[in-house]
Amino acid sequence: MKKLLLSATLIVLGFTATAQDIESNPIRLRLGGGVTMATGDFKSTDVNNDKSGYAKNGIFYSLSIIKDVHSNFAIGLSFAKGTNKFDKETYRDHFIRSGVYPVIKADNYKFTHMTGDIYGQVPVNNSAFYAKASLGLGFLTSGDIEATIYKGNEKMTLSREDKRAPSLVAGLGAGFRHDFGKFGMGVEVAYTYGKLKFDESYKQLFATVNSTLGLYYRVR
C-alpha cells in the first residue's frame, strides 16, 4: 500500500511540475504584415478555365497569439485580413480579342482567416527557426465586376455583384524569429489554401503564398 501511495504521489507531483512548466513558458503576441501572392487557379487568367480567378498580388496584415508548450513546440491562434487585386487588364484583353473594347471596373478580392496553429521550433540562443501547420475558417469576398461595352451609339453593361462565401482554410509555413528582450522581429513564408462555393454556378479555389514581416512582444 505504501508503494502504491508513493507511486501515486510521484505521478501527481510529475503532472504538477509539467503543468507549472507549461504555465511558465512564454506567451507572445505577433503583429504581421506583408505581401500575399495569388497562385494556381486563383491567379489563372485562362478563359477556358471556369475556376480562373484573375487574382493579382495584394497586401495583408495578421495578429497572432503564440504559447510555447515546450522548447520545441508551440500552439497559437491567428487572425488575418487582406486583399488581392483583380486583373482587369487581362480580363479586358479577352474581350478585345473578340473585337469588343469594354471599360472594366472591378473591386479587389477581400479575405479574412481565423486559424489554430501548431509550431515545431528549433531555438538557437535568442533566435528560433520554426515550421507551422494551420487549420481554420476563412471568408472570401469576390468584388463587383462591371464591363461596359460600346458599339456605335449603343451601350451594353454586363455585371456581377460581389459575393461572399466561407471555406475551410489550411496552411503550411516556415519562419525565423529573433528576440531582443521582450520584443522580437521575424519573417515568415506560408502557403494558404481554401475552396469556396459562392453558389452552384460559381466556385473558386483560393490559394496564396504570404510573405510576412512580424513584430513580437513577449507577454511573460
The domain limits of the chain are 27-218
- Contact assessment for residue 120 and residue 132, using Cβ atoms and an 8 Å cutoff: yes
**Which set of grid coordinates corresponds to residue 30?**
505577433
Q: What is the pTM of this model?
A: 0.81
- pLDDT for position 18: 45
Task: Answer yes or no: CATH 3.30.930.10 is held by domain 27-218.
Answer: no
- pLDDT for position 173: 97
- pLDDT for position 118: 97
- pLDDT for position 212: 94
Distances (CA, A) of 26 to 75, 173, 179: 11, 21, 12
- pLDDT for position 24: 66
Q: How far apart are the first and last CA of the chain?
A: 42
- pLDDT for position 6: 46
Reading the chain (220 residues) residue by residue, the pLDDT tens digits are 455 444 444 444 444 444 445 566 889 999 999 999 999 999 998 878 878 889 999 999 999 999 999 889 999 999 999 999 999 888 888 877 777 778 888 889 999 999 999 999 999 999 999 999 999 999 988 888 888 887 767 788 877 788 888 889 999 999 999 999 899 999 999 999 988 877 766 778 889 999 999 999 999 7
CA separation for the pair 214, 186 (Å, rounded): 5
